[in-house]
Amino acid sequence: MVAILLAFGCALSYGFGDYFGGLATRNSSLLKVLPITVVTGLISLLIAWPILGADFSRPAVIAGLFAGTAGIAGYIFVMKSLGLGPMGAVAPITALIAVIIPFCVGLFRGERLTLTGSIGALLAMISIGLVSRSTIDATHPLTRTAAIYAVLGGLGFAGFLLGVSSAPDHSGLAPVIIGRIVTFVVFTSAMLVSWKRIADLPVDYKRAMASGALDVWGGVTFMFATQHGQMVLVSVIAALYPAITVLLARVFLKERLERHQVIGLYGAGIAIVLLTIS
């Protein structure tokens, strides 16, 4: 049950983080928002360090370096795929790859789900695809290049999750802190290189900070969840975060949901119940 609660906490963290991150980048430069989110997340980790601990052993540092590098690669490829579009087609590809890879790794380790859990996992993956997909912006067909970038983006995000979860159980926050430092260096460097072009552009500090503080704990809760339960179970529940973001957009922004997205939300709810009782 602890692993399930932590995995659901991961989905909530990523869901809320993406919601505030999306709002922050609507009227702000992405290159100015990213360093703020990373710094805020890093500060929150340092505040929690005395409570949750951090053992910077060699395996933990290596896990953090791998996670940070994979996360950056995933983000870059996702941005490229979204730029080529259509967003409604590439987003589900990225989301599904990001859950299927950790799920398969869990199976390779010998982890197994009950029949009820297997049905819940399958329903969850279908729901992720439905919730993430939007036909509103589908103004042009999906190209092979966009699909490849979307797959690579999903592999990057899966690599981040596998990276932080590969650290020794006694590592505490060390892998996530190292990963955040890596992303801080890269994103801050990108901002400084482009500073002349973006210096006068506005930035939504409050939402950027909220996104950073929430997003970083998605990685933390996922790592702790895999220490208390099976990867096949944790990865599926955590990957339901797009449903949280879509639901928040519907409630607070009054965004219209397409029929398949509504079906996906109901499916996600049923999947959580099935996975919980499995």
Q: Report pLDDT digits (tens) over 122-168.
A: 999 999 988 887 766 555 567 788 889 989 999 999 999 999 999 99
Among 238, 210, 211, 212, which Cα is nearest to 224's? 238
Q: Which two tokens stand for residue 67?
A: 């996670």
pLDDT of residue 143: 78
Report the alpha-carbon distance of residue 149 to residue 163 in Å, rounded.
21
pLDDT of residue 136: 64
Can you tell me the mean pLDDT for 35-64? 95
Report the alpha-carbon distance of residue 171 to residue 151 in Å, rounded.
30
pLDDT of residue 29: 83
Among 67, 15, 3, which Cα is nearest to 247's? 15
Question: What separation in angstroms does the CA of 59 have from each of 37, 63, 113, 165?
Answer: 26, 6, 29, 11
Q: Which two tokens stand for residue 65?
A: 């370096």
Residues 136, 86 contacting (CB under 8 angstroms): no
pLDDT of residue 90: 75
Report the alpha-carbon distance of residue 193 to residue 196 in Å, rounded.
8
Can you tell me the mean pLDDT for 19-42? 88
pLDDT (tens digit per residue) in 231-259: 999 999 999 988 898 888 888 988 788 88
pLDDT (tens digit per residue) in 103-122: 999 999 999 999 999 999 99
Report the alpha-carbon distance of residue 213 to residue 233 in Å, rounded.
25
Query: How many domains does the chain divide into?
Result: 1
pLDDT of residue 53: 96
Backbone angles phi, psi at 224, to 5 degrees: -65, -35
Print the domain residue range for 211. Answer: 2-277
Backbone angles phi, psi at 256, to 5 degrees: -75, 135
pLDDT of residue 255: 79
- First-to-last alpha carbon distance for the chain, in angstroms, is 10
Kindly give the residue spans of alpha helices, DSSP state H, lying in the chain: 2-24, 30-52, 58-84, 87-108, 115-132, 144-165, 174-193, 195-198, 205-228, 231-238, 241-252, 259-277
Share of residues in the chain with pLDDT > 90 (%): 64
Report the alpha-carbon distance of residue 192 to residue 190 in Å, rounded.
6
Residue 268: pLDDT over 80: yes
Residue 81: pLDDT over 90: no
pLDDT (tens digit per residue) in 163-215: 999 999 999 999 999 999 999 999 999 999 999 898 888 889 999 999 999 98
* SS3 state of residue 112: coil
Can you tell me the mean pLDDT for 6-31? 88
Share of residues in the chain with pLDDT > 70 (%): 95
